[in-house]
Amino acid sequence: MTPVLAYWVDRLDPFLIHFTDSFGIRYYGLAYAAGFVASAWLLHLYAASGRSLLSTAKIADFMVAAVIGVVAGGRVGSYLLYDAWRTFPSDPFAILRVWEGGMSFHGGLVGVMLAIAWFSRAERIALLHLWDLVASTAPVGLFLGRIANFVNGELWGRPAQVPWAVIFPRSPLPLVPRHPSQLYEALLEGALLLAFMQWRFWRSDIVRSRPGRLSGEFLVLYGCLRMAGEAFREPDASLILGLSRGTFYSLFMVAAGLYLRQRRTVPLAPPGP
């Protein structure tokens, strides 16, 4: 057994720049910003290649809608899905303090889907096609967000004795080595899922011939990979039917993804001149 003192302790500073002890530029915020920039860059590549019905001129407006959907949905989802709402009587404005972290992927997913639905109707671009575009770029943000979770020393894993286990000072006492589950999820939900999504996007005509199928594959794969990661992660809220919240909510994603993947669709017409 490796002595506890031999394990690395996560004392990383969550701030890139401090303005005060509790306020500054956080890596968590930078991860979100970098994820949105990378997604916009990919959308430009899609438009330039002729594979996207979202024109270059509309990408900025699309990203504004997506950012609002992700941030609002992620914050509300974290507040409602992970029991933070129980603090409302003593701290009614906690939901507004976005800078303190606390974002739910499942809430952000619902938020961005609603935002894209609004954009689709306003710009008359096929909804399933826009969902496919987002699905192919989303893992970038997931990867960066999980890295930021590790830097913050939050969402730690279950106790472990593997050589790469980490001691997280913010975890419950007594401090024990734990799985760096944030890094596992960064590799699974982020790097691996991004590689698959990009391979599917560029090596096939799936976003034009089968609109919605790529979104379905994203939901199924993310749900399965998230559940795999949850096996190493300490649940951050009470269980539902014996399952962690992340696993329970991911089951609905898998079901929705299977529906989208099997749903009959009509191929999209090529973009106009």
Residue 1 lies in a domain: no
Does residue 204 surpass a pLDDT of 90? yes
Verdict on whether the full-model pTM lies above 0.95: no
State pLDDT tens for residues 117-128.
999 999 999 999
Strand ranges inside the chain, DSSP E: 8-9, 15-18, 24-26, 166-167
Whole-angstrom distance, CA of residue 246 vs CA of residue 262: 25
Highest mean pLDDT, choosing among 73-87, 90-104, 177-191, 257-271: 177-191
> For residue 46, which phi and psi values (nearest 5 degrees)?
-60, -45
Q: Is residue 5 part of a domain?
A: no
**Structural domains in the chain (count):** 1
Mean pLDDT of 38-53: 97
Domain assignment present for residue 103? The answer is: yes
Q: Which residues on neighbouring strands pair with residue 159, listed in sequence order?
A: 178
Structure tokens at 114: 């609603």
- Evaluate whether 229 touches 185 at the Cβ level (below 8 Å): yes
Q: Is residue 213, in this structure, part of any structural domain at all?
A: yes
For residue 152, the model assigns a pLDDT of: 94
* pLDDT tens per residue across span 18-35: 998 888 999 999 999 999
Residue 272 lies in a domain: no
Task: Choose among 66, 53, 77: nearest CA to 115.
Answer: 66
Does some domain include residue 147?
Answer: yes
Asked whether the beta carbons of 260 and 222 are under 8 A apart, the reply is no
* 3-state SS assignment for residue 150: helix
Supply φ then ψ for residue 110, to 5 degrees. Answer: -65, -45
**Residue 233 gets which letter from DSSP?**
B
Is position 2 within any domain? Answer: no
Q: How confident is the model at residue 94 (pLDDT cuts 50, 70, 90)?
A: low
The answer to whether residue 255 sits within a structural domain is yes
Residue span of the structural domain in which 192 resides = 14-168+176-262
Q: How far apart are CA 231 and CA 270, in angstroms?
A: 43
pLDDT band at 82 (very low <50, low <70, confident <90, very high): confident
**Mind listing the pLDDT tens digit for each residue in 223-242?**
999 999 999 999 988 899 99
